[in-house]
Amino acid sequence: MNKNTLRLVLPQWQGGMNQNYILGAQLLAAIVPPSMQAETITVPTSVAAVGNQQVDAQETLLTQMKLTTDILATKQPAKVITLGGDCSVSEAPFDYLHGQYPTDFGVIWLDAHPDISDPQTSSHVHEMVVANLLQQGAPAFNEQVQHPLQPEQIFFAGLQYQDLRPMDAAVDTLKIAYATPQQLESSDLIGDWLKQQQIKHLAIHWDLDVLSPDSYRSILPAQPGLDQSQFCAAIGSMTLTSVIQLLTAISAQTEVVGLTIAEHMPWDAINLRNGLARLPIFE
């Protein structure tokens, strides 16, 4: 890792309207491997969620994304590590990186869900961030994207394709490449895509929800006591070991210039903090 790597701690929560993502990002900053050569900046985020009736917290999110963009424009890093926060934290860094590497850039979206909805099917920006990067999402966010991606520059890895909802229809209509967890185990679809699209610089978005709750407990569907059959979205099935092996293999095939880790939901820490907050001694 060279000195021109910027590590962004971005505890943005309004994209998923869940303030628990704040603590998730803060703890990720302590968990990820330290580097004496990478500068770390914590992006200020609001406790407010100001927006309109169509997109939750739109005004607040646009302001925070503009601040992230300004930081990147000032620092001009060659590589960006982003620690979120909800999935919307990748929007500004990936747009910036595409501007830095305009001709051979690609994105792997490692997620159980494609995050490719729009305001007609969702009010949460973390469910439309990929659409925004394609300038096919929420209009105000489309306008903020300066270096829009093309569908062939995106690969959905670990996608629970069999559980796609109507809000995810753009996966098929835009013909975006994907691999289910089972396909990742038995073929090198990602390697083939990297070669076909001549990707030399890659950004990886890793939503921890791609993992199975049995493999990793700090994700939304691993909430203690939750009946997973009643969970409102697809549940990931990959193991932590298999994801690390996948990321290692990808890193050997092309240069990874961006890495986001998002939607960290450390339930034990959250519940401990909430419980302690009820004690008078902490008032």
How is the chain split into domains, by residue range?
5-282
Which is it for strands 255-262 and 201-207: parallel, antiparallel or unpaired?
parallel
- Name every residue whose Cβ is closer than 8 Å to that of residue 127 and which is 6 or more positions away in sequence: 87, 113, 115, 117, 167
Mean pLDDT, contiguous 10-residue spans, the chain (283 residues)? 81 98 97 90 95 89 98 97 98 98 98 97 97 97 98 98 97 98 95 98 98 97 93 95 97 98 98 97 94
Q: If residue 8 lies in a helix (H) or strand (E), which one and from where to where?
A: strand 5-10
- Strands of 151-247 (E only): list them: 154-157, 177-179, 201-207
Distances (CA, A) of 25 to 53, 82, 247: 27, 9, 20
Can you tell me the distance from the alpha carbon of 55 to that of 50, in angstroms, rounded to the nearest whole number? Answer: 10
Tell me the backbone φ, ψ of residue 118, rounded to 5 degrees.
Answer: -150, 175
**Structure confidence at residue 36 (pLDDT):** 79
The 3-state DSSP class for residue 216 equals coil
Cβ–Cβ contacts within 10 Å for residue 17, how many?
16
Using DSSP, state whether 55 is helix, strand or coil: coil
- The predicted pLDDT at position 3 comes to 54
CATH number of 5-282: 3.40.800.10
| 35 and 7 Cβ atoms separated by less than 8 Å | yes
pLDDT the model gives residue 37 = 84
3-state class of 163 per DSSP? helix
DSSP run (H or E) holding 255: strand 255-262
Residue 2 confidence (pLDDT): 43
35 near 68, Cβ under 8 Å?
Answer: no
Sheet containing strand 79-84, strands side by side: 39-42, 5-10, 79-84, 255-262, 201-207, 105-110, 154-157, 177-179
| Whole-number Cα distances in Å, 90 to 79, 94, 177 | 13, 6, 19
Query: CA 265, CA 28: separation in Å to the nearest integer?
Result: 10
